[in-house]
Amino acid sequence: MPSSEVGVNLEQARAWDGSEGANWTDNEDWYNAAVRYLTPALFSSAAIEPAEHVLDIGCGTGETTRMAAREAASGATFGIDLSRGMIERARRRAAEEGLRNIRFERGDAQVYPFEPGRFDVAVSRNGTMFFDDPVNAFANIANALKPGGSVVMLCWRELARNEWVRELRAALAAGRDLPEPPPHAPSPFALANPERVRAILTAAGFDHVQCDSVEQPIYFGPDAATAFAGVTKLGIVNGLLADVDDVSRRGALERLRDTLGNHETAEGVLFDSSAWIVRATKALKGEES
Ligand SMILES: C[S@@+](CC[C@H](N)C(=O)[O-])C[C@H]1O[C@@H](n2cnc3c(N)ncnc32)[C@H](O)[C@@H]1O
């Protein structure tokens, strides 16, 4: 059922099932490559077993669902996302790779009627920071897990620890004092505070909540020109350029080119980044957390 019919996450559904989802689908390879050094930590923490049933929350075009499907070779994987376009692309890619233990649905993970107790593990690569009611969303995910099942997710730590976003903002500030994103609103940084993450997950029915940091570079492409083409499609960059006049915009884009050029290395355009691997277990009834 479209999320707009159940009245949750309307803004996110509009963006991801609209222009932001189209942008991600068109630039699928660039987005997948950007987090290539962060992704292995998600999978080593999830430690998916061959017979397991895996849920991928906010799976986008499904790279991580396909990775999970290869690990759960005799099990099954299910990817859910708000974006119809990304889900169509995910289905096509899985078919091209001949994966049969994989299924995708367009839906809102906060309210989707998952079969209770179906999954051993729920994973997510940057797909769980956009819920308008995170406690209800994670309670819905807990209900989809077997007793003792786990949620394992990659999510950004705070902006100040992420050189990539700090430097993009500095390049594009155009003389303005930029506001920080509100810490509790749906945004890439909504799960940056581990105390808040613990409180949300505990209230949603999880225990043994663990936040382990991953410090790995983010990769913007082999050279500054590819990096420029990619980052100028980022929602965060377009948001910062939305209200500036043409002259300031040209200046900001020049500074952005310089910033990306300064980060060109033999391994491509790299910036420091910092994320959490959040891991939690569905609480067994009656167990102390
Ligand atoms: C930053 S993208 C990450 C996509 C994908 N996990 C990846 O790593 O390429 C965030 C994704 O979360 C999805 N998303 C956001 N809120 C969601 C919700 N409530 N239910 C399902 N998907 C959601 C978006 O549609 C988008 O595809």
Separation of CA 124 and ligand 1 centre (Å)? 8
In a domain, 233, yes or no: no
pLDDT of 4 over the 50 cut: no
Q: Does residue 227 contact residue 219 with C-beta atoms inside 8 Å?
A: no
The closest-lying atom of ligand 1 relative to the alpha carbon of residue 63 is: 9
> Predicted confidence band at 6 (pLDDT cuts at 50, 70, 90)?
low
In a domain, 234, yes or no: no
Query: What confidence score (pLDDT) does residue 286 get?
Result: 60
117-118-124-128 Cα dihedral, nearest 10 degrees: -50
SS (H, E, C) the chain: CCHHHHCCCHHHHHHHCCHHHHHHHHCHHHHHHHCCCCHHHHHHHHCCCCCCEEEEECCCCCHHHHHHHHHCCCCEEEEEECCHHHHHHHHHHHHHCCCCCEEEEECCCCCCCCCCCCEEEEEEECCCCCCCCHHHHHHHHHHHEEEEEEEEEEEECCHHHCHHHHHHHHHHCCCCCCCCCCCCCCCCCCCCCHHHHHHHHHHCCEEEEEEEEEEEEEECCCCHHHHHHHHCCCHHHHHHHCCCCHHHHHHHHHHHHHHHHHCEECCEEEEEEEEEEEEEEECCCCCCC
Say which CATH number the domain at 79 has. 3.40.50.150
The closest-lying atom of ligand 1 relative to the alpha carbon of residue 110 is: 19
CA atoms within 13 A on the CB side of 164: 24
Burial per residue of 147-181, b for 16 or more beta-carbon CB atoms within 10 angstroms, e otherwise: eebbbbbbbbbebebbbbbebbbebbebeeeeeeb
Range of the structural domain that residue 25 is part of: 3-159+184-218+274-282
Separation of CA 169 and ligand 1 centre (Å)? 23
Q: Is the dihedral of CA 52, 101, 188, 261 positive or negative?
A: positive
pLDDT of 227 over the 80 cut: yes
Please state, for a pLDDT cut of 70, what percent of the chain lies above it: 97
In a domain, 172, yes or no: no
In a domain, 224, yes or no: no
> Predicted confidence band at 288 (pLDDT cuts at 50, 70, 90)?
very low
- Of 59, 86, 154, the one to substitute when testing ligand 1's pocket (max ligand atoms within 8 A of C-beta) is 59
In a domain, 252, yes or no: no
pTM recorded for the entire structure:
0.95
> Predicted confidence band at 183 (pLDDT cuts at 50, 70, 90)?
confident
In a domain, 132, yes or no: yes
In a domain, 263, yes or no: no
The closest-lying atom of ligand 1 relative to the alpha carbon of residue 80 is: 21
Burial per residue of 217-236, b for 16 or more beta-carbon CB atoms within 10 angstroms, e otherwise: bbbbbeebebbbebbeebeb
Residues near 147 by Cβ (< 8 Å), separated by ≥ 6?
117, 282, 284, 285
In a domain, 261, yes or no: no
How many folded domains does the chain comprise? Answer: 1
CA distances from 260 to 32, 132, 180, 228, 233 (A): 19, 33, 22, 7, 14
Residue-wise pLDDT for 105-117, tens only, equals: 999 999 999 999 9
Separation of CA 254 and ligand 1 centre (Å)? 31
pLDDT of 64 over the 90 cut: yes
Separation of CA 109 and ligand 1 centre (Å)? 9
The rounded mean pLDDT for the chain is 94
Query: What confidence score (pLDDT) does residue 285 get?
Result: 76
